[in-house]
Amino acid sequence: MSTSVPANQGLAFQRCLEPDCGTTYDVGEVRTSCGDCGGLLDVVYDWDRLPVPKSLREFEQKWARRNEPLCRSGVWRFHELLPFAPPEKIVTIGEGQTMLQPSAGVAEYVGLNPGGLFLEYEGLNPSGSFKDNGMTAAFTHAHTIGAKRAACASTGNTSASLALYCGVSKLMQAVIFIGSGKISYGKLSQSLDYGALTIQIAGDFDDAMHRVRQVSEQLGIYLVNSVNPFRLEGQKTIMYRVLESLDWQPPDWIVVPGGNLGNSSAFGKAFMELHELGLIDRIPRLAVINAVGANTLHELYEVRGNRWNDGKVDHQAATEYYAELDASGRRASTIASAIEINRPVDYQKCLRALHVCDGVVREVNDEQILNAKARVGENGLGCEPASAASVAGTKLLREEGVIAPSDRVVCILTGHQLKDPTATIAYHTTDQEEFNRVLGSRGVKRAEFANRAVAVPNDLDEIVRAIQLNS
């Protein structure tokens, strides 16, 4: 295998996802949608003329060259599978050095055989969430075309990631749009600390998303939101690393929380391409898990039966549903703030992923999410609330019998435990008022696995007695 991918002029394109359109654009063109029909753009490659490995095992050769940044990165050591930029333009900060952790404790909780459940711990990324996988790719594209400013709307993790890449590289200024009161302190503190220009809008994520598109258009700022097709290229590598950790044997299921649906879309694209390239012979099934309070995908896919349909997606179904949401004044609402999104921008690509991976969609409520999160934490790898939707969803699919006890299941833990301490503290608190304020208001009744602090007077005997009583 060649050590690096050459500058790929003419071998990578952007292509409109609409089958009746399919207009292609140069990889160096900056677009957020198709100029002909407004459709989503997809990155496509002329694989026949690119140096594609014959076997996924060939990537193992890069492990011996870990001192080279592009081999160390968990994204760019798979450069041959996302060859849209020349190596000298790549901006990497060591993203994607994550791990797949088997968890017998979580397996037991969800009802899988011991050894059947794996947690792909993306909280280990430099900014603490999987978003770095996509940001290194979008940032690289932005750098390739000479951008000086980059913007995003975010529930927090995308902005933290963009701010970090700008802070480390000093190649661009980060402009971050957030909604009011919806961002966790852990995430907001990152953007501020990394020096990003932070614009707080009086509105929610969907409002911020709408405005950032207008503003970046007007001011010519590079947009790194999920509509950016290059981010998904980077996020494909999460699946490559899962395969790598399983000695290249695909698991039975990948379970992932669904917000804007970039991750699930990227996973589907990864498996679609690996299969087309003859690098895997079996595609895992995909389960995308919504929060009940932000369940657009569940409603459209499972309830109303909207499908990929060879790319001829019934857009009217989504338009009608959004009109219903507006008419009833319903806003996205869940403790899992990273998936608190009602208008997922990558909806159409996610339908393709569900098609490719014979997927299912489920919804779980905030109580299920937080109980699952506590179980994940207790077994040693904490995560933020949105991430735990994958574990809660796995439990539900086991109860339904959709996932078998003997299946091998990979849950994506999308973000680090320290991203959202407010939810964690409220879950474990002894203060009923605090519990009600943060969680009770969201319909959470019982913190099944709360680990409550033991209050004792400042007295040696009392302290000793408390320890003896509780151990």
- Give me the residues that bind ligand PLP (CB under 6 A), please: 129, 131, 157, 226, 257-263, 338-339, 384, 386-387, 414-415
Compute the least distance from the CB of residue 223 to Zn ion, in Å: 18
Between 11 and 288, name the residue whose CB sits nearer to ligand PLP.
288
CA distance linking residue 182 with residue 157, whole number of Å: 12
Long-range CB contact pairs, 317-324, < 8 A, 24+? 318/347, 321/296
Least Cβ distance, residue 231 to ligand PLP (angstroms): 9
Other CB atoms within 10 A of residue 8 CB = 17
- With CB under 5 A as the contact rule, the residue among 34, 152, 212, 374 that binds Zn ion is 34
Q: CB–CB of 413/381 below 8 Å?
A: yes
The closest alpha carbon to 257, from 405, 435, 131, 75, belongs to 131
262 binds, among Zn ion, ligand PLP, none (CB under 5 to 8 A by kind): ligand PLP
Q: How far is residue 243's CA from residue 152's CA, in Å, rounded to a whole number?
A: 30
d(CA 298, CA 361): 6
Q: Closest separation between CB of residue 412 and ligand PLP, Å?
A: 8
- Tell me if 116 contacts Zn ion by CB under 5 A: no
Q: Which stretch binds Zn ion (CB under 5 A): 20-28, 90-98, 413-421, 429-437?
A: 20-28
Q: Is 21 in the site for Zn ion (CB under 5 A)?
A: yes
Instruction: Name the residue nearer to Zn ion (CB basis): 143 or 213.
Output: 213
Between 21 and 197, CB nearer to Zn ion: 21
Residue of 39, 116, 250, 259 interacting with Zn ion (CB under 5 A): 39
In the complex, what is the shortest distance from the CB of residue 314 to ligand PLP, in angstroms, rounded to a whole number? 21
The answer to whether the Cα torsion of 364, 290, 100, 239 is positive or negative is positive
Sign of CA dihedral 117, 134, 154, 419: positive
338 binds, among Zn ion, ligand PLP, none (CB under 5 to 8 A by kind): ligand PLP
Residue 260 binds: one of ligand PLP, Zn ion, none (C-beta under 5 to 8 A by kind): ligand PLP
List the one residue from 1, 37, 303, 456 that touches Zn ion (CB under 5 A). 37
The residue type found at 109 is Y
Which residues make beta-bridge pairs with 173? Answer: 149
d(CA 158, CA 174): 11
Does 18 participate in binding Zn ion (rule CB under 5 A)?
yes
Our finding on whether 311 is near Zn ion (CB under 5 A) is: no
| Rounded Cα–Cα distance for residues 275 and 269 (Å) | 10
Of 386, 389, 364, 395, the residue nearest 105 (C-alpha): 395
Residues 55-74 that bind Zn ion (CB under 5 A): none
Name the site residues for Zn ion (rule: CB under 5 A). 16, 18, 21, 23, 34, 36-37, 39
